[in-house]
Amino acid sequence: MSTDPFTTSPYGEPVPAGSPSVLRIVWVYPDLLSTYGDRGNMLILGRRAQQRGMPVELIEVRSDQPLPTTADIYLIGGGEDGPQALAAQRLITDGGLHRAAAQGSVVFAVCAGYQLLGSSFFAKGAKCAGLELLDLHSDRGPSRAVGELAGEVDPRLGLPPLTGFENHGGRTHLGPGVAPLARVTVGIGNDESSEGAWRGKLLGTYSHGPALARNPALADLLLRWATGISALPPLDDTWSDRLRAERTAATRVA
Amino acid sequence: MTGGGRVIEGIADGVAGQSTVARRSRRIAARRQSGNLARVTDAKMPLRAKVASSVSRTAAALSRAAGRGDGSVIGGWIGLKIDPELLAHLAAGRSIGLVSGTNGKTTTTRLTTAAVGVLGPVATNSFGANMPTGHTSALAKAGATPYAVLEVDEHYLPQVLEATEPRVVALLNLSRDQLDRAKEVAMMAQLWRAALAKHPDVHVVANADDPMVVWASVDHTAVTWFSAGQRWHDDSWVCPECGAPIERADEQWWCTGCPLRRPEAQWVVEDDGVVDPTGAWHKVVLQLPGRVNLGNAATALAVAAQFGVRPTDAVSRLGGVASVAGRYAQVVREGRNIRLLLAKNPASWLEAFDMADEAPTLLSINARDPDGMDTSWLFDVDFSPLRGRQVLITGDRAYDLAVRLEVNDVPFEHVRTFAAAVAAVPVGRLEVIANYTAFQDIRAELDRVN
């Protein structure tokens, strides 16, 4: 899919040193964690930055490549149990994401990617060690959570309601070191009450796949975190606004 | 053709799916009773099966008469209620080919039916009802035929292998489909692999270009490999055997961690034809568009060859297939030559772009139950091949599509109805690409064109 309107480095190409004005977005392990249109988040962030005149570099890093440690935003997608466990192992061994997070990079993780940021999660019936970047752990829920997900976002983040689609078998329990991203109004999220988690510039959600397509304000929050620019010029969000309105109405009826 | 029937037919899963030792032995006895290959007659069926088969046909006819559908599901459902072994009874004595995979199975089944038709009458589930109820209904309706070619939903392949004991099974491809419901791709490959291990006698015709299909088939004793190309690679970057990365170069692929690699194919698409295992090239002239359908034709020829049909005898029959349950159908409305293409998942969208002409294109997306409720996959599809064409969008989930196209830099216009789309394009070709229920909606507007 190299024909989306960006210059994407091929897998594994080293991040060019210098050029601090380029916003560098890393998609972590698309070979393992890309089940539900996860590429969308990278494309949306890249486009919204470009529309504000920021040069963007999109970097896809495969799981057999070292993770660059100096990028601005790291995206971690959803995946099946096996690839999720493998991704966690490789990220722990690699250590790059820990270094990047410690240096203040933004990390946005969805679904399986969100779970593996915690201390532990379950994959294929076994408890697996997570990255311990967020104070949370996940276990198996009584049923699979599949369907629309909506919630009122933590007011400190200043965002409109979250809307998305979830599809996961896990439940996530937050520790005191993180805040829930949202209070659930539709769907399951972490535990039918809270949804997602955030701390500093690390944010995870069960709103899976191209979560930012329905939540452009969340995309802009990540861009503000990454660039330090607090007043991003507004964009024409006619179509995502219509999509949000249509989804909100649909979940209200259901 | 996964979507349509899965929900409706789910009711019958338990009925067709059970398999106990007692039932199996009863069925083997029934099979013996039913006698010689290629000579199935109602007279040789046990009474219960006869009644079930007859009621099944009647129910299907009633369903059609009442305008409730084509009857291909309800008839089989009732028949299986009366005799859970009905599918096995109806299959006994026929020489059967099964066709399964995520994409292309309805079309390949139609082409294979045409090719095997060289030998005599062939029963088939041509309405795309591809679960045991649909198979039961199709076989009951066809009466005694020496041959059957059945499209099988990939989830049901183990049960249908068990019930029909086919001569050949064709495995086309496996990719992500209906993500909120379907089994994960690797799990599906595992399901197939285990099912084939229980049926060492069936001859497998499998796609050498799809690592998931190859892994499912590679340990089987009798496999014929075909190569039809694979456009979609995003579900097979990780080896299903060992978890190492899979590398690709030209048409080859190989695992970097274990011996799994692309086997050499005996049937290969080359230019506008197909090379058979002897090396002979056969020109294939199809009414169906795209290289994808040339691949489906190669598969059909490979399956037919297992029935003893020579490709030279079969190729001309493939050209007789014009449309398949509305797919590829062409209708003229108000001077617009409208062509319908069905695309249900990322892999089939890529194929549809390949088939479509450089012409105004209407995209329609729904996310009703048969489609899967999740539209995330839109971001797995690169819509950039549509740049430069007039693009219209419609459907229940047009706004999801709008956001995707905007990010993809594909200009579009939103229309509320099919009629508005027709009015918005100039006289000439209008390509329509739609997912399952959106496709059926448009087909209904065109008087259920076949």
Q: Can you tell me the distance from the alpha carbon of A238 to that of A229, in angstroms, rounded to the nearest whole number?
A: 23
The partner residue sitting opposite B403, judged by closest CB among A64, A165, A213, is: A213
CB contact under 8 A, A213 and B384: no
**A152: distance to nearest CA of chain B, Å?**
21
Q: Which two tokens stand for residue A172?
A: 């996530």
Confidence of residue A125 (pLDDT cuts 50, 70, 90): confident
Task: Give how far Cα B199 sits from Cα of A55, A81, B187, B220, Å.
Answer: 57, 29, 19, 9
| Closest chain B residue to the Cα of A169, Cα to Cα | B180
By CA distance, what is B373's nearest residue in A? A147
pLDDT of residue B233: 80
- Tell me, what's the pLDDT at A21? 82
Give me the interface pTM, i.e. the ipTM. Answer: 0.92
Q: In A, which residues are within 8 Å of B400 by CB distance?
A: 213, 243
Chain A interface residues facing chain B, Cβ-Cβ under 8 Å?
1, 3-5, 31-32, 34-40, 43-44, 47, 62-64, 80, 82-83, 86, 146-147, 165, 167, 208-210, 213-214, 239-240, 242-243, 246
Instruction: Say whether pTM exceeds 0.95.
Output: no
* CB–CB contact A4 B376 (8 Å): no
Please tell me which of the candidates A39, A146, A147 has its beta carbon nearest to residue B380. A39
A31 to chain B: which residues are within 8 Å by CB?
237-238, 245
Task: Return all residues near B305 (Cβ < 8 A) that are at least 6 apart.
Answer: B224, B276, B277, B311
- Name which of A6-20, A234-248, B83-97, B247-261 the model is least confident about: A6-20
pLDDT of residue B371: 87
What is chain A's Cα-based Rg?
17
Parallel, antiparallel, or unpaired: how do β-strands A202-205 and A179-186 relate? unpaired
How many C-beta atoms lie closer than 10 Å to residue B282's C-beta?
19
Residue B86 to residue B132: CA distance in whole angstroms: 10
What averages of pLDDT result for each successive group of 10 residues across chain B (450 residues)?
A: 32 32 45 40 65 71 56 70 83 96 93 97 87 92 94 95 97 80 77 96 97 96 91 80 87 94 96 96 94 94 98 95 86 94 89 92 94 92 95 98 97 96 97 94 83
The Cα–Cα gap between A8 and B290 comes to 29
Q: In the A/B pair of chains, how many CB contacts fall below 8 A?
A: 87
Q: CB under 8 Å to B135, separation ≥6 — which residues?
A: B76, B87, B91, B125, B129, B150, B152, B160, B163, B164
**CA nearest A65 in B: which residue?**
B245
Backbone angles phi, psi at B277, to 5 degrees: -65, -20
Beta strands in B17-121 (DSSP E): 95-100
Bridge partners of A147, per DSSP, are A166
Average pLDDT of span A119-140? 95
Q: Shortest CB distance from A243 goes to which of B180, B373, B399? A: B399
Q: Which two structure tokens, joined as six digits, stand for B119?
A: 């030998």
Cα separation values, A5 from A43, A50, A212, B383, Å = 9, 10, 17, 11
Question: Which is nearest to B63 in space by CA: B55, B81, B110?
Answer: B55
Residue A236: closest C-alpha in chain B: B406
Q: Which amino acid is at B211?
A: P
DSSP B214-234: HHHHTTSSSEEEEE---S--T
Is the Cα torsion angle B318, B322, B323, B329 positive or negative in sign?
positive
